[in-house]
Amino acid sequence: MLGRQAEDGPLQVGDSQPVLLPCDLRTQAVLILAGILLGNRLEANRWQAAADFRGHRIPAGFNTLRYDLMPNDGNHLGAAPNRDFLLVVPAASDGDPGATFKFQELVTMSARTTGTKHPSPLSLVQADAEPSTPAVSKDDQDHWTFSGGMRLSSGEELPLALVVKETAQQ
């Protein structure tokens, strides 16, 4: 289940208690999932083996996805078209859907997915304003993107577009 922040209220995640925001998301630049709490768990699923945006192998198994932003620093300049990512986390490390984590804690948890020093990111891109029928398309930069909608705990549909095949420039 997903959550969404009310205009001036806390984030509600599924049937859990409201989660207080650690920062004012309205001041963050270029948020693709505006209103979704940074670090919020969006999904928990059984995965087939795959690869992340860095090209690292994600083994088959149960994983969760948590939303966060790539650091806005010189080390990450040009690594992706947007700062928005879903970080893959082994479900065994992420048992509480309502838990919030500091950025470095989440990076460490996500790095366990691939056994590297880097988190396991999936890149988000700008979705159409209205959620559409789920589809996969190729853009002018050779990114294969899944687009569709996610149903929030409120019943509202939120548009989502996720790069499913492409590797970041290293």
**Residues 131-139, mean pLDDT to the nearest whole number:** 80
**Of the spans 13-17, 60-64, 68-72, 123-127, which averages the highest pLDDT?**
60-64
Provide the residue ranges of all domains of the chain, joining segments of one domain with +: 3-165
**Residues 85-90, mean pLDDT to the nearest whole number:** 90
pLDDT in tens, 26-70: 334 445 565 566 777 777 778 888 888 878 888 888 988 888 887
Task: Say what the pLDDT of residue 123 is.
Answer: 84
70 close to 60: Cβ distance less than 8 angstroms: no
